[in-house]
């Protein structure tokens, strides 16, 4: 990358500080929401003893999955040795770290007793995927941090490919572990399938790249730097492939479930008659999060930057919706405590579980996203993460 010059964002303008302040407001409200729920208990939320993972978990898992995918650009540069992606790699790594930090903070602060986290960190049950994820998340920070160091420090640049390969393998294992958290939960009808592991991997590719594109385009537009069409067209085409792959896995996943008679009830609940969940699935997840972005990215609309931004935003909204359906919709369906028998009592048995997110839950979830954006916004000011220019002529030289 001899022809590429990296520069920090000056960060001295009123617009920059206004951006930091605007993001900071959501961080503060997220902190206040956490303190409120921690003081009063989860009784002030929409969660109950049937639905124990609410909207904060939706945001947390979405951010963790997206963090793995955000590193994809850097992985393409180092592991697969694609020169065009190398100038994009530092931002990819820092965004991955920021998203992971935001997701894990929401996850930790959503605990009923977050002060008991030390117990989870010192007492391990290696038969549980939750235990394995403690190591997977910690390893992600370590390996991606080292990888970023090799990209920014010329003295250790020769180790960049090795560090990038290690981070690439680790993030695949991490996302497999995140999907397996649900895939190994056989008590819930919609879980208990190994398909969730590869599906979470391809979901991470789509969500992470969509967020990366939004951050990249915003950074260059707001700093007056040139971002050529060559980079954007390559990334948006790659994004279209990932979105199509997500739709493919979703179709196969539900068709597989429908093949088994015992899954008919829960599939009908999610796809047809489950109150809000069919609308979220068909409108939010499939139409807005999948079909619409594909139509934008694969047609002439995909050549216009405003429409690429719209497609990325739709993918993010569709991704959060998909996490909502996957996490909360599965809990709403009653547990099958005694297979082949009808259960009826005064304690929720056989009853569809209801859940309405409270305002503090929303602020806690959005606070995690705000923390990720705040970290990224600050990082581009203090670190040389962005090339001064990514115009078409410069990119063309990289590929020859």
The owner of tokens 């978990």 is 57
Query: On the CB side of 243, how many CA atoms lie within 13 Å of its CA?
Result: 31
What is d(CA 260, CA 272) in angstroms, rounded to the nearest whole number?
17
pLDDT band (50, 70, 90) for residue 2? very low
Q: What share of the chain is helix, strand, coil (3-state, %, to 5)?
A: 75, 0, 25
Secondary structure of 42-92 in HEC code, one letter for each residue: HHHCCCCCCCCCCHHHHHHHHHHHHHHHHCHHHHHHHCCCCHHHHHHHHHH
The answer to whether the CB of 328 falls within 8 A of the CB of 45 is: no
pLDDT digits (tens, 9 = 90+) for 57-88: 999 999 999 999 999 999 998 888 888 899 99
223: exposed, middle or buried (Cβ count in 10 Å: 0-12, 13-18, 19+): middle
The answer to whether the CB of 188 falls within 8 A of the CB of 333 is: yes
Q: Residue 135 corresponds to which tokens in the numbers above?
A: 């190591």
CA angle 358, 361, 365 (to 5 degrees): 145
For residue 280, tell me if it sits in a domain: yes
pLDDT digits (tens, 9 = 90+) for 278-321: 999 999 999 999 999 999 999 999 999 999 999 999 999 999 99
The total number of structural domains that make up the chain: 1
pLDDT digits (tens, 9 = 90+) for 236-292: 999 999 999 999 999 999 999 999 888 898 999 999 998 899 999 999 999 999 999
Give me the percent of the chain exceeding a pLDDT of 90: 64
For residue 1, tell me if it sits in a domain: no
pLDDT band (50, 70, 90) for residue 374? very high
pLDDT at 376: 96
Q: Which residues contact 152 (CB under 8 A, 6 or more apart)?
A: 90, 383, 384
Q: Which domain holds residue 162?
A: 6-398
pLDDT digits (tens, 9 = 90+) for 311-360: 999 999 999 999 999 999 999 998 877 777 777 776 767 788 899 999 99
For residue 307, tell me if it sits in a domain: yes
The answer to whether the CB of 190 falls within 8 A of the CB of 333 is: yes
Between 2 and 61, where is the model more confident? Answer: 61
pLDDT band (50, 70, 90) for residue 5? confident
pLDDT at 42: 86
| pLDDT(224) > 90 | no
Q: Which H or E run includes 25?
A: helix 14-40
For residue 197, tell me if it sits in a domain: yes
> CA nearest 98: which of 377, 399, 338?
377
Mean per-residue pLDDT of the chain: 90
The strand pairing partners of 7, in sequence order, are 386
Q: Which CATH number is 261's domain given?
A: 1.20.1630.10
For residue 209, tell me if it sits in a domain: yes
pLDDT band (50, 70, 90) for residue 400? low
**Residues making up the chain, counted from first to last:** 400
Q: How far is CA 75 from CA 205, 206, 338, in A?
A: 11, 15, 47
pTM: 0.94
- Once rounded to an integer, what is the mean pLDDT over residues 355-376? 95
pLDDT at 66: 96
- Once rounded to an integer, what is the mean pLDDT over residues 32-50? 90
pLDDT digits (tens, 9 = 90+) for 138-182: 999 999 999 999 999 889 989 999 999 999 999 999 999 999 888
pLDDT band (50, 70, 90) for residue 6? confident
């Amino acid at each position: 990358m001899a022809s590429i010059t990296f520069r920090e964002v000056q960060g001295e303008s009123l617009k920059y500080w206004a951006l930091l302040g605007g993001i900071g407001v959501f961080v503060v409200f997220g902190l206040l929401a956490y303190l409120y729920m921690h003081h009063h208990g989860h009784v002030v939320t929409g969660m109950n003893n049937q639905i124990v993972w609410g909207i904060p978990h939706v945001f947390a898992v979405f951010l963790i999955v997206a963090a793995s995918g955000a590193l994809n650009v850097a992985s393409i540069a180092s592991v697969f040795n694609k020169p065009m992606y190398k100038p994009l790699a530092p931002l990819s790594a820092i965004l991955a770290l920021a998203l992971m930090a935001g997701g894990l903070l929401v996850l930790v602060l959503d605990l009923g007793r977050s002060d008991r986290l030390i117990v989870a960190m010192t007492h391990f049950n290696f038969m549980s995927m939750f235990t394995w994820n403690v190591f997977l998340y910690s390893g992600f920070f370590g390996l991606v941090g080292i990888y970023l160091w090799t990209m920014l420090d010329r003295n250790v640049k020769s180790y960049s490919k090795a560090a990038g390969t290690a981070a690439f393998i680790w993030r695949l294992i991490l996302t497999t572990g995140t999907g397996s958290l649900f895939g190994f939960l056989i008590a819930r009808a919609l879980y208990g399938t190994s398909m969730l592991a590869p599906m979470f991997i391809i979901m991470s590719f789509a969500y992470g790249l969509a967020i990366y594109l939004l951050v990249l385009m915003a950074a260059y537009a707001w700093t007056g730097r040139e971002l050529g069409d060559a980079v954007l067209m390559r990334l948006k085409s790659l994004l279209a492939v990932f979105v199509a792959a997500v739709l493919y896995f979703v179709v196969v996943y539900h068709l597989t479930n429908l093949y088994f008679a015992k899954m008919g009830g829960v599939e009908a609940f999610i796809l047809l008659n489950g109150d809000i969940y069919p609308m979220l699935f068909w409108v939010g997840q499939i139409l807005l999060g999948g079909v619409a972005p594909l139509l934008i990215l694969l047609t002439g609309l995909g050549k216009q930057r405003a429409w690429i931004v719209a497609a990325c935003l739709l993918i993010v909204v569709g991704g959060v919706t998909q996490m909502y359906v996957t996490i909360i919709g599965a809990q709403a369906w009653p547990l099958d405590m005694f297979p082949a028998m009808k259960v009826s009592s005064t304690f929720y048995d056989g009853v569809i579980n209801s859940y309405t997110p409270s305002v503090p839950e929303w602020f806690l979830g959005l606070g995690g996203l705000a923390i990720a954006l705040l970290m990224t916004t600050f990082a581009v000011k203090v670190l040389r993460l962005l090339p001064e220019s990514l115009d078409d002529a410069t990119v063309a030289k990289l590929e020859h």
